[in-house]
Amino acid sequence: MGIVARLSRHMALGVSALLLTTAAQAETLTIYWNAGHAYEAYAEVIKGFEADNPGWTVQWERYQWPEMRTKLVADFSVKNAPDLVSGQGPWISEFGGQGLLMPLDDYIAADGKTIGYPDDWYDFSVERNMYDGKYYGIQMHLTCVALVYNVDMLKDAGFDAPPTTWDEFMNVARATTKNGKFGFVPNQVPMYHWPWIFQNGGDYYDPATNKVTYDSDAAIEAVQFLADMIHKDQVAPLPVAGVDYEGPQKLFTAGRAAMILTGPWDVGPIKTGNPNLNWDVAPGLTNERQMTVAGGVGLMIPASAKHPDQAWELIKRFTSLETELVASVENGMTMPRKSWGEQEATQADPVLNKFGQCLPYSREVTALLDPTGKTARVEEMFKSAMEDILYNNKPARDVLTQSAAEANAYLAN
């Protein structure tokens, strides 16, 4: 059954008197979206919205995360924000705390029972979209980072199963690095560095002292371990510089990497880029503990949105169970609805299941820092430090100690 047919029932149910307008009243609804999440299922939602509301046009603008953030901050400064944003988790506390997002409490009070919110969403995915007791977003994807590996490359190197510990990981990485291929390809985006720090017992921020803790011995050791893969052990290349997070996925899809860390967002590109690739998803690695990074995106309405009612209608359509199922099965994305995980299609998909198994020991990196409203600047400091370590081969201890001192001075201001 095609996407249109599978969503037809959802589209019929989604028509709301709130949005029935005449062509004379119709305008353009602007959405900011991550380029990697421009799924056909969401395109069909937009088509359905436009069909149900003659004359309305949805302007679906797609960006990489850093580009979107830069544009959104600029838009906020001149009160010319889009109507709807599919944004990263930390933006809820940051922008909501600054009064730049519209509280969704009234919409949820009116429609919550009809759409199953918040009862049908995992508690974590509801809490991460709240600030100061108010709802500022609705979770659309709920994800985690896992180890993805090339089954054939590991078998050719004598491994019948993926690594489970850091020591096993290094053995596999050394054995599979040859003939222009790498055992592991790291990502330059800071989120992908945190599984190593968490697994080694490190943390990001301590709310009791209002200080970052990425200068702890555990964190420093983990970052040095990652840097040594590149410069000392030479089992990994330098991360691809720039705003595009897809570099490791592209090398993996081309058969030039045995292992990468990634999430469900890369399942679709891997499958379509190389349908014959024999690959699989492994549980999160363990060193001091088994842990990985949680993530996902939420839908939020800026306070200066011109069409908030119409934006809310699109939120309901984008997050419906029917849309979730189509988007997840066809793209490998994991979702926040409890009922999504109970569906036969979800349970029958081995990739979705394996990513889903990582969620219980996943943890959002900046969750404790976000309420301070200072996450963005601290993240830039950490990103700059990691670039100095990974690209310039500077000692992790020296760089992280200095970076943490600067971050803590900023937090104490």
Give me the pLDDT at residue 242, please: 63
DSSP state, residue 265? G
β-sheet bridge partners, residue 87: 298
362 Cβ contact partners less than 8 Å away, ≥ 6 residues apart: 144, 145, 284, 291, 292, 293, 294
Instruction: Provide φ and ψ at 328, rounded to 5°.
Output: -75, -45
β-sheet bridge partners, residue 66: none
Report DSSP letters for 35-55, one per residue: GGG--HHHHHHHHHHHHHSTT
Q: What angle do CA 351, 1, 44 make, to 5 degrees?
A: 85
Give me the pLDDT at residue 281, please: 96
Q: The domain at 145-293+368-412 falls in which architecture?
A: 3-Layer(aba) Sandwich (3.40)
What is the CB neighbour count within 10 angstroms for residue 28? 11
This prediction has a pTM of 0.78
Q: How far, in Å, CA of 275 to CA of 254, rounded?
A: 11
Q: How far, in Å, CA of 15 to CA of 398, rounded?
A: 58
Report DSSP letters for 338-387, one per residue: HHHHTSHHHHH-HHHHHHHHHGGGEE-TTTTTGGGT-HHHHHHHHHHHHH
CB 282 within 8 A of CB 73: no
Residue ranges of the domains in the chain? 3-142+296-342, 145-293+368-412
Instruction: Provide φ and ψ at 371, rounded to 5°.
Output: -60, -15
Q: Would you say domain 3-142+296-342 falls under CATH 2.60.40.1120?
A: no
β-sheet bridge partners, residue 33: 62
What is the CB neighbour count within 10 angstroms for residue 113? 10
Is 145-293+368-412 in the same CATH topology as 3-142+296-342?
A: yes
Give residue-wise pLDDT tens across range 284-320: 999 999 999 998 999 999 999 999 999 999 999 999 9
**Measured between alpha carbons, how far is residue 346 from residues 41, 49, 159, 204, 367 in Å?**
16, 26, 29, 33, 28
What is the CB neighbour count within 10 angstroms for residue 345? 12
391 Cβ contact partners less than 8 Å away, ≥ 6 residues apart: 238, 239, 241
Give me the pLDDT at residue 4, please: 40
Amino acid in position 129: N
269 Cβ contact partners less than 8 Å away, ≥ 6 residues apart: 36, 246, 249, 250, 253
- Per-residue pLDDT for the chain (413 aa), expressed as one digit of tens each? 444 444 444 444 444 444 444 444 679 999 999 998 999 999 999 999 999 999 999 999 999 998 999 999 999 999 999 999 999 988 998 899 899 999 999 999 999 999 999 999 988 899 989 999 999 999 999 999 999 999 999 999 999 999 999 999 999 999 999 999 999 999 999 999 999 999 999 999 999 999 999 999 999 999 999 999 999 999 999 987 765 668 899 999 999 999 999 998 898 899 999 999 999 999 999 999 999 999 899 999 999 999 999 999 999 999 999 999 999 998 889 999 999 989 999 989 888 889 988 888 998 899 889 888 898 899 999 999 999 999 999 999 999 999 999 999 999 98
**Strand pairing category for 292-295 and 362-363:** parallel
**DSSP alpha helices (H): ranges in 177-216?**
194-199
Nearest by Cα to 82 from 292, 304, 243, 253? 304
What is the CB neighbour count within 10 angstroms for residue 225? 20
Give residue-wise pLDDT tens across range 110-141: 999 999 999 999 888 999 899 999 999 999 99
3-state secondary structure of 137: coil
